[in-house]
Amino acid sequence: MERRSPGSLNHRLFVVTLLAKGALGVLQLATAAAIFAGAVDRLPALTQWLFRAELAENPNDFLATRAMSLAGVIPTSDLAFYTTYFLAHGGLHIAIVVALLYGAAWAHRAAVFVLWAFVIYQLFEWLTVGGVALLILTAIDLTVIYITVCEQRSRAHLEP
């Protein structure tokens, strides 16, 4: 079997994927902080402000009208749940990414376990609620699982 070096394409793809997952975790923590700070109440006005020039030029602009409609339908009833969810989800992503980049021996298996848990949860939510975004997130997580397993196997073959 061919040995892969840490500079291989698979390893670089693994690192890029980890950095993307880390960025997603930071975004999720920022989302939790924004919800906690009350940004949901101000989102329609902020969206209107951001897209006012585009809407003045073209009132039927796809992106601007879509953003306006999405800003108006954000649920406000379970903000404590969403804050907790994004805080936990983002924190877990960041912890796993740091452990994997640090090279912790347990991190690959933990990452695969956590990602499978997210896949199962997202598929359950998709079956009950629907939504293309959940399928996209699931596909991304499945890809990351595959890349993580490949990286784990590669490291196992490199170690004496």
**pLDDT tens-digit readout, 31-82:** 889 888 887 777 778 888 888 888 888 888 888 888 777 776 666 667 787 7
The H or E element containing residue 143 is: helix 132-158
How big is the chain, counted in residues? 160
Provide the percentage of residues in the chain whose pLDDT is more than 90.
8
Helix (H, G, I), strand (E, B) or coil at 32: helix
Residue 58 CA to residue 158 CA, distance in Å, equals 58
CA distances from 75 to 87, 100, 107, 159 (A): 17, 35, 35, 50
* CB burial of residue 155 (10 Å; 0-12, 13-18, 19+): middle
CA distances from 141 to 4, 23, 24, 98 (A): 23, 14, 12, 17
pTM as predicted = 0.66
* The pLDDT value given to residue 117: 92
Render pLDDT for 130-143 as a digit per residue (tens, 0 to 9). Answer: 777 778 878 888 98
